[in-house]
A and B are shown apart, each in its own frame.
Chain A
Amino acid sequence: MIINLVWLVPLFPLIGFLINGLGRNVLPKAVIGSLGSISVLLSFIVSVGIFSELSASEIKAFYIPLFDWINTGSVKIPFAFQIDPLSSIMLLIVTGIGFLIHVYSIGYMSHDKGFGKFFAYLNLFIFFMLLLVLGSNYVVMFIGWEGVGLCSYLLIGFWFTNPSYASAAKKAFVMNRIGDLGFLIAIFVIFTTFGSVEFGDVFMGAARLESGDSTLLLITLLLFVGAIGKSAQVPLFTWLPDAMAGPTPVSALIHAATMVTAGIYMITRSNLLFSLSPLTMDIIAVIGIITVILAAAIAVSQTDIKKVLAYSTVSQLGYMFLGLGVGAYTGSFFHVITHAFFKALLFLCAGSVIHAMSNEQDMRKMGGIRKKLPVTFMTMLAGTLAISGLPPFSGFFSKDEILAHAYQENQLLWVLGVIGALLTSFYMFRMLFLTFFGEFRGTQEQASHLHESPKSMTIPLIVLAILSVFGGLLNVPAVLGGGHWLASFMAPVFEHQGLSTASVIHLDHSTEYLLMGISVMAALISAIYAYSRYAKAHHIPAPDEASRGLFAKLSYNKFYIDELYDAIVTKPLNLLSYFFFKVVDKAAIDGLVNGLGKATSEGSKVLRLLQSGNVGFYIFMMLAGIVALLVYGFYNI
């Protein structure tokens, strides 16, 4: 039973972290790089074994207790892992894509001084992500949840000597903390409600509750707050674009493929709780679609290649939440998988471009580099086609499944979703054309340095490109003659004592064809528009200081959301802190304490004059005292 060896999966990256972390300054780079990659590769091999055994097995949920962790009175929290279709697929994504990105990092980070530290952090991240995915209760999940947040912080601020990078790391950490607080309170409420934090016990208890139960509403809303923070949804999404301060492989691994999907994983895992509180589902769908549109509207005018991808990630995560909100758990998880493929690919391609351009990230200074970087261009084209939702690439299948469910639920959601798809296709092709087509706009020096990346970087690109192209075949819908493999594989996750939370599409085939046709047409039209504007007409985005129209200005300045938060949160908070610092602390508390001290010493200065040293005076005072006592005693008998 290879499933019983599941503890090996997080163990390998942990060992890799320990060795790389301790030996980061002594081990040679080749050892560090191969150790880091091989540890994740071993985990991947075990994960493949687990996956194949699970697919062959009749039982679809395995519970592997490791040790008793917290055991006091009524609180019993074992450290246990759970293997089911959901976690086994997540294992494959985390270790598989993680391995490719480790390999890529060997080439990408080869000139960096912090090479050992980087691999140690990456391994630690993989370890925590695996804990998050494997945990059989909310507390183990929470450890992983916090751990990936920590690694995200460490890796965003990897080049911490640059103050703006360091503050981006802090921003990500603080914003995540807001969400984590929600998650933590949710765990407390779950414990007080169900008396356990084990997934099995919680879902068993929840299945007995009515749909729309107010406690469930509270729990799901709090869990969703956690997901908002981790998965960068409106209103807590602004940390993700800033997180691009980290090295590009980090953006690909943490801020595109794995960590940011933790929120979707958590909601999919708790699908029963969410299905039983329809109000939360509506809120999720609304937040999701707002995020889709807002982030896409920002992405269309960004000029930094990584910022475009960052907003694109936020927007795609919005699609996943839209899917969750309309009950399309499988569709949304399908999008997690395909998004992991194509977004990791796109980020790594962007990294390859940045590497070739000597760390230039501004697309206005790129252009025409497809001859020099043929592999990067071809793979990036594959990723762009996939994310734009053009058939038969992977994004088409996953996005259309979500959109079909949205149409079934509420047609307005579908319309907005298609508008999002339109924008997605536009900003992605805009990025592709600005980067690879037209004339080279960089400096002479950059032009002479242009080169295709080394093998260790291009091979992961090719593998991911293949996955991005064919990943959609995992879940081809019946209407296109497919077998819905993913949906049937994942079905046990959505079965709870005869209660199924999986939603099924009841649309007739002609409607489905129509929906697909419309979204594909939308993507095609905006791709063609992007082609005519950026590849044919060589339109180049205006420099920063140029004046823009109202919408362009809003979009270019990210709808002033950072400024808004600054005005409504940061500034009042600073003022309040300043008030507490100056008035409460300095004036009141310090005044009281210092005043007491000062009063004592000033009073003593006066009183010490009484001690004249004159013995006669002392005796007189003594006598006066005795008389006073006598008088007092006389009147108080």
Chain B
Amino acid sequence: METITQSIQGVPLNHYILLSSIIFTIGTIGVLIRRNAIIILMSVELMLNAVNLLLAAFSVYRGDASGQVFVFFIMALAAAEVAIGLAILTMIYRNTNSTDINILNRLKW
């Protein structure tokens, strides 16, 4: 335990923040500009995991385990989200033969 903590603390906190910001931004941009629904789902996962990384890092630095508990919650939620999201996507693909979100434009007035 001591060693894992020390090795994590071996990297300065700023680097974690920077890394997770980069990953989060990549995820956000992916969500915004990609048209394939599967990629968008993956981008959402990226964003979630960027947050997870940051939570774990802060948790270690502060010596508070509750941050890591949150990580587990988020991972469970992400798994559920992916399960539902993929199921929806499968149904969309069966109906439209496509996973392009721009085809799904009938949700309007």
Seen from chain A, the residues whose Cβ lies within 8 Å of a Cβ on chain B are 608, 611-616, 619-620, 623
Cβ of B104: which chain A residues have Cβ within 8 Å of it?
A: 613, 615
B59 interface residue (CB < 8 Å to A): no
Is A613 in contact with B32, judged by CB distance below 8 angstroms? no
19 contacts between A and B (CB under 8 A): A608-B109, A611-B108, A612-B108, A613-B104, A613-B106, A613-B107, A613-B108, A614-B102, A614-B105, A615-B101, A615-B104, A615-B105, A615-B107, A616-B32, A616-B33, A616-B35, A616-B101, A619-B31, A619-B32
Q: How far is the CA of A613 from the CA of B101 in the complex (A)?
A: 10
B28 interface residue (CB < 8 Å to A): yes
Pairs of residues from A and B, 10 with the lowest C-beta to C-beta distance, nearest first: A613-B108, A613-B105, A615-B101, A608-B109, A611-B108, A613-B107, A614-B105, A611-B109, A619-B31, A615-B104
Cβ of A608: which chain B residues have Cβ within 8 Å of it?
A: 109
Mask, B66-109, CB within 8 Å of A = 1, is 00000000000000000000000000000000000110111111
CB distance from A21 to the nearest CB of B (A): 63
Could you tell me the dominant secondary structure of chain A's interface residues?
helix
Interface centre among A613, A620, A623 (most CB of B within 10 A): A613
Cβ of A620: which chain B residues have Cβ within 8 Å of it?
A: 32
CB distance from A106 to the nearest CB of B (A): 78
- Name the residue of chain A whose CB is nearest to the CB of B104: A615
In the complex, given contacts A612-B105, A615-B102, what are 20 additional A-B residue pairs having Cβ atoms less than 8 angstroms apart?
A: A608-B109, A611-B108, A611-B109, A612-B108, A613-B104, A613-B105, A613-B106, A613-B107, A614-B102, A615-B104, A615-B105, A615-B107, A616-B33, A616-B35, A616-B101, A619-B31, A619-B32, A620-B32, A623-B28, A623-B32
Cβ of A611: which chain B residues have Cβ within 8 Å of it?
A: 108-109
Q: How far is the CA of A616 from the CA of B102 in the complex (A)?
A: 7
- Name the residue of chain B whose CB is nearest to the CB of A612: B108
Q: Number of B interface residues, CB 8 Å? A: 14
- Name the residue of chain B whose CB is nearest to the CB of A622: B31
CB distance from A90 to the nearest CB of B (A): 78
Cβ of A612: which chain B residues have Cβ within 8 Å of it?
A: 105, 108
Number of A-B contacts (CB under 8 A): 29
Q: How far is the CA of A608 from the CA of B108 in the complex (A)?
A: 8
- Name the residue of chain B whose CB is nearest to the CB of A615: B101
- Name the residue of chain A whose CB is nearest to the CB of B28: A623
Q: How far is the CA of A120 from the CA of B95 in the complex (A)?
A: 81
CB distance from B32 to the nearest CB of A (A): 6
Q: How far is the CA of A267 from the CA of B32 in the complex (A)?
A: 92
Q: How far is the CA of A611 from the CA of B109 in the complex (A)?
A: 7
Q: How far is the CA of A623 from the CA of B33 in the complex (A)?
A: 13
Cβ of A615: which chain B residues have Cβ within 8 Å of it?
A: 101-102, 104-105, 107
Tell me the chain B residues, 6-41 only, with Cβ under 8 Å from chain A: 28, 31-33, 35, 40
CB distance from B40 to the nearest CB of A (A): 8
Q: How far is the CA of A51 from the CA of B13 in the complex (A)?
A: 117
Interface centre among B32, B33, B104, B109 (most CB of A within 10 A): B109
CB distance from A452 to the nearest CB of B (A): 88
CB distance from B34 to the nearest CB of A (A): 9
Cβ of A616: which chain B residues have Cβ within 8 Å of it?
A: 32-33, 35, 101-102
- Name the residue of chain A whose CB is nearest to the CB of B34: A616
Cβ of B35: which chain A residues have Cβ within 8 Å of it?
A: 616
Q: How far is the CA of A612 from the CA of B101 in the complex (A)?
A: 13
Tell me the chain B residues, 35-59 only, with Cβ under 8 Å from chain A: 35, 40
Q: How far is the CA of A350 from the CA of B22 in the complex (A)?
A: 112
- Name the residue of chain A whose CB is nearest to the CB of B108: A613
CB distance from A609 to the nearest CB of B (A): 8
CB distance from B29 to the nearest CB of A (A): 10
- Name the residue of chain A whose CB is nearest to the CB of B105: A613
- Name the residue of chain A whose CB is nearest to the CB of B103: A615
Q: How far is the CA of A614 from the CA of B106 in the complex (A)?
A: 8
Cβ of B40: which chain A residues have Cβ within 8 Å of it?
A: 619
CB distance from B61 to the nearest CB of A (A): 22
Q: How far is the CA of A608 from the CA of B31 in the complex (A)?
A: 24
Q: How far is the CA of A250 from the CA of B93 in the complex (A)?
A: 92
Q: How far is the CA of A384 from the CA of B29 in the complex (A)?
A: 112
Cβ of A623: which chain B residues have Cβ within 8 Å of it?
A: 28, 31-32
